[in-house]
Amino acid sequence: MLPPAGRVKATLVSASSSDLIPLVRKLESITQLTSEERQALESLPAAIRLMQPRQDIVRDKDRPGHCCVILSGWAYRYKLLSEGKRQILSLHIPGDLPDLQSLHLHVMDHNLATLTACRLALIPHEAFHDLTNRFPGLGAAMWRDTLVDAAIFREWMTGIGRRTAFGRIAHLFCEMYLKLHAVGLATSHRCELPFTQVDIGDALGLSNVHVNRVLQEMRGKGLITLQGSRLVIVDWGALSEAGEFDPTYLHLRAGETA
Amino acid sequence: MLPPAGRVKATLVSASSSDLIPLVRKLESITQLTSEERQALESLPAAIRLMQPRQDIVRDKDRPGHCCVILSGWAYRYKLLSEGKRQILSLHIPGDLPDLQSLHLHVMDHNLATLTACRLALIPHEAFHDLTNRFPGLGAAMWRDTLVDAAIFREWMTGIGRRTAFGRIAHLFCEMYLKLHAVGLATSHRCELPFTQVDIGDALGLSNVHVNRVLQEMRGKGLITLQGSRLVIVDWGALSEAGEFDPTYLHLRAGETA
DNA sequence: CGTCGTATTGAATGGGTTCAAGTAGCGTGG
DNA sequence: CCACGCTACTTGAACCCATTCAATACGACG
């Protein structure tokens, strides 16, 4: 029942208690955890699933019976429209719970897919419900996590609706760097961004051609370097100014700014 | 402490137990409530606040100590950018809890304002925390409400990013009608939409001039009539098709479709 | 070494914006 | 009762940011 039927072949093994450390770390970036809470998290019943890049994890209209935690790799959520148009809704990194909403909204209204190869932990909804009943503080932390998610949607919406292409891309780079930095996956204004220019376009409501031109402009102005999937933000001040980037909406703990 | 200091003069009176009926109705559209839960909701400590149209309720960077329930009137959330650019993030109707997120995200990352004259109930955060501790089912219902909120953000993002102006406006009209219909404020494909063409533009990432032209096109094609704030959807089929409207993301109870 | 996905470049096109002017509707006060 | 003024709506024309179409180059990988 756990693995979505009739999909990609998935490798499933059972989890050991150290597997869920990324989840613990993520929630610890949101609240203080007691040792009982940490222990309860680590002993959640989980199945480990290994997935190839660019595979759907859950699809629009699905009614999943479990949530996944990203243990390693990147994932993204997206919607498809007519004529092959795609809108990428969010990008997710280790520790994230990208389909936590299925705990309370039973039908998926979008797709969730891997961007890179991923290691996922699948946790049954009942286990989450049991956990939040026993530890309301964990429930509050997870609620808060979904609220930050929504805050990021609002910010993206604002960018797509009212920012120039240059500002949008600048803003995205600032955001991704800070998110990675917050969970210890980036320092010194350098990080991995394993997505293509088509992906960036579909996330920001732009064509891949235009993304390409704006990236060249950014390089030309000495704001960034970007080769393969390696991003270096050369001039954080100028980049965040170009994107009118204000990290309030990420609701990070005090001082995590640059 | 309840009324945000130094703002618009607000009329504050204490609430009677019947005031919060719109909130009860809203949550009942989300879950089944027990009579204890209903009673607890109605006896929440609330202050009634009357506000003029187009006044800020809470602002970016505020740290409110209470949430508001819209008892009557419309409200909207928005962000401001440089050069007076504005992005409207959401539209809210009676029964909504438009700043429920402040319960867990302590700093506002956007503004909330009245669109029309409004009657609001202000409820201290402590009262909500106490309520969700005593009635976890109510906590789950409110969590679910914020998740539907996020689902609407995703849908708007998709529209702004990947739909034509015509499709975006069509989609918005379908959405607003269904939301109003779901709480008994609209029937027969008719409803009030008390916003200007500038508002529509700022919600959908368009200029007011272009909104005007698209509206005329819609009228010309016989899809809608819109005079003053009165919308009539003449051809629901064509309108929802033009907007590629699929109501799944609203997560309404079964069958509320048109 | 060929192949497929990704990145890059150029040229033409277009959806939507901007600027500017004019109209309609409505509440207010003389 | 009408003039006034405010706001929202409407229209036209020029412009532009970004798209689309179409090649071409690159680069990883079997």
Would you state the pLDDT for residue A16?
77
The radius of gyration computed from the CA coordinates of chain A, to the nearest angstrom, equals 18
Beta carbons of B104 and A133 less than 8 Å apart: no
Taking the whole predicted model, whether its pTM rises above 0.85 is answered as: yes
Q: Where in chain A is the domain with CATH 1.10.10.10?
A: 163-250
Examine the pLDDT at B257 and tell me if it is beyond 70. no
Structure token pair of residue A152: 């990021």
What percent of chain B has a predicted confidence (pLDDT) above 90? 84
CATH number of A163-250: 1.10.10.10
pLDDT attached to residue A254: 65
Other CB atoms within a 10 A radius of the CB of residue A86 amount to 18
pLDDT (tens digit per residue) in A200-209: 999 999 999 9
Is the predicted pLDDT of residue B188 greater than 60, yes or no? yes
Three-state secondary structure call for residue A225: strand
Residue with tokens 């309301």, as numbered in its chain: A136
pLDDT value at A31 more than 80 = yes
Q: How many CA atoms lie within 13 A of A73 on its CB side?
A: 23
**pLDDT score at A15:** 72
Q: Delimit the CATH 2.60.120.10 region(s) of chain B.
A: 11-151
B243 touches strand C (CB under 7 A): no
How confident is the model over A117-141, as pLDDT tens digits?
999 999 999 999 999 999 999 999 9
Residue B209 CA to D14 C1' — how many Å? Answer: 15
The pLDDT score that the predictor gives to residue B16 is 76
Laid out side by side, the sheet with B11-14 consists of B11-14, B47-51, B118-124, B66-72
The pLDDT of residue A247 is above 80: yes
Distance CA B180, CA B175 (A): 9
Q: Does residue A5 have a pLDDT over 50?
A: no
With a cut of 80, say whether residue B5 has pLDDT above it: no
If pLDDT is split at 50, 70 and 90, which confidence band does B6 have? very low
pLDDT of residue A3: 32
Q: How confident is the model at residue A4 (pLDDT cuts 50, 70, 90)?
A: very low
Whole-number percent of chain A with pLDDT over 90? 84
Q: Are B117 and B53 in contact (CB under 8 A)?
A: yes
CB A140 within 8 A of CB A213: no
Range A53-59 average pLDDT: 96
Token pair belonging to B33: 């409530």
Residue B16 Cβ under 7 A from any strand C atom: no
**B160/A155 touch (CB, cutoff 8 Å), yes or no:** no
Residue A117's Cβ-count burial label (10 Å; 0-12, 13-18, 19+) is middle
Mean pLDDT of A166-184: 95
pLDDT of B218 above 50: yes
Residue in chain B lying closest to A100 (CA): B147
* Confidence label for B10 from pLDDT (cuts 50, 70 and 90): low
**The predicted structure's pLDDT at residue B255:** 55
CATH code linked to domain B11-151: 2.60.120.10
Please report, rounded to whole angstroms, the spatial distance between the CA atom of protein residue A228 and the C1' atom of nucleotide D28.
11
Q: By the 8 A CB rule, do A109 and B151 touch?
A: yes
pLDDT at position B4: 36
Mean pLDDT of B245-250: 96
In whole numbers, what is the pLDDT of chain A averaged over residues? 92
